[in-house]
Amino acid sequence: MLKVENLKVRYGHREAVHSVSLTVADGEIVTLVGSNGAGKTTTLKAISGLLRASGGTITFNGERIDHLAPHQIIERGLVHVPEGRKLFADMTVLEHLELGALRGRSGSTGFNERLRWVYELFPILAERRTQKAGTMSGGQQQLVAIARGLMANPKCLMLDEPTLGLAPIIVDQLADTIKQLHGSGITILLVEQRVDLALRLADRAYVLETGRVVMEDAAHTLAADPRVKSAYLGL
């Protein structure tokens, strides 16, 4: 479904991502893990068109997308839920969901149907539909960010650090949410610093260090790897 080959991304003269290659097959959960500054967010931003690649190719369902604008990439069903949620504090839940639907992939379902689906997935958002995002808890804000992405009717959802700053019990709920989304047929590329959680959720994983993929394998294989255990799992 998604194929990234030899991706390079620069900030000015400094290259932050060097020749990253990864694939995500239809129906998979793939995770991209690595420590601070490894280049995870930069990679996702390049895939979603927010940053231009300075080298390499990005293909989505057989089509090159590395020269498309972000809204064109969303229209094709590849949707990015950004790190830090990026909500508008003064806008309500419903207004965020309307925004998410603006540039979505046209599919078999209309706005109202999708809204019903999102409210079924996240009943708390139905209750809070008129509440301003800035007044919600971190966990609720993350649900708003994911729900906004879902309103675009994604085939593939890229989640950047969805559990950042959340209490452990909320993290567990969010993990269930990700499984549920996957169960509803959405392919997922998950960026996570909680490597244990990411490897439990994912089918396959890539480990990124200073802008390069240093390991890739089935998630359970990586979880048992002594190097991963000592560097990322604190074991």
**Residues forming the site for ligand ATP (CB under 6 A):** 11, 16, 34, 36-42, 83, 193
| CA–CA separation, 102 and 20 (whole Å) | 31
Amino acid identity, residue 74?
Answer: I
Query: In this chain, which stretch among 40-48, 126-134, 150-158, 169-177 interacts with Mg ion, using CB under 5 A?
Result: 40-48
Q: 16 touches which of Mg ion, ligand ATP, none (CB within 5 to 8 A by kind)?
A: ligand ATP
31 contacts Mg ion (rule: CB under 5 A): no
CB of 17 to ligand ATP, least distance (A): 7
CB of 200 to ligand ATP, least distance (A): 19
Mark 73-102 with x for binding to Mg ion (rule: CB under 5 A) and - for no binding: ----------x-------------------
Helix (H, G, I), strand (E, B) or coil at 136: coil
CB of 211 to Mg ion, least distance (A): 12
Helix (H, G, I), strand (E, B) or coil at 104: coil
- Which uninterrupted H or E stretch holds 230? helix 226-232
CB of 44 to ligand ATP, least distance (A): 8
Strand residues in 108-203 grouped as ranges (E): 156-160, 187-192
Helix (H, G, I), strand (E, B) or coil at 111: helix
Work out which of 17, 32, 41, 97 binds Mg ion, going by CB under 5 A. 41
What does the binding site for Mg ion look like in residue numbers (CB under 5 A)? 40-41, 83
